[in-house]
Amino acid sequence: MIRRGARHHTVPRDNDGTLSALSARCTHPGCLVRFNDTESTWECPCHGSRFDTSGSVRQSPATQPLKPAHLAPTE
Ligand code: FES
């Protein structure tokens, strides 16, 4: 997870090595997700939502995927 100002992002690497930036903010809404190395999922500590490395919901209560993050270069 990386932090840019007040925003937190996940930057998972796909099996082919591709990096994609996602918001680390759960869509249920609000808590910061944490990565579970054993399950290879992003998990929300607040109510238990889980997301795969592409941000898709694997377990509710969240119904929306993690949002894409746009990481602009810093000055
Ligand atoms: S805020 Fe993440 S599951 Fe509720």
CB count in 10 Å sphere of residue 17: 6
Task: Please give the number of the atom of ligand 1 that sits closest to the Cα of 61.
Answer: 3
Domain annotation covers residue 10: yes
pLDDT at 39 (0 to 100): 92
Q: Could you tell me the pTM of the whole model?
A: 0.80
Full residue range of the structural domain in which residue 2 is found: 1-69
Domain annotation covers residue 12: yes
Domain annotation covers residue 74: no
Phi and psi for 64 in degrees, rounded to 5?
A: -110, 145
Domain annotation covers residue 39: yes
Residue 70 pLDDT class (50, 70, 90 cuts): confident
Q: How many domains does the chain have?
A: 1
Q: Whose CA is closest to atom 3 on ligand 1?
A: 47
CATH number of the domain to which 57 belongs: 2.102.10.10
Regarding the beta carbon of 22 and ligand 1, being less than 6 Å apart is answered no
pLDDT in tens, 13-45: 767 777 778 999 999 988 999 999 899 899 999
Domain annotation covers residue 33: yes
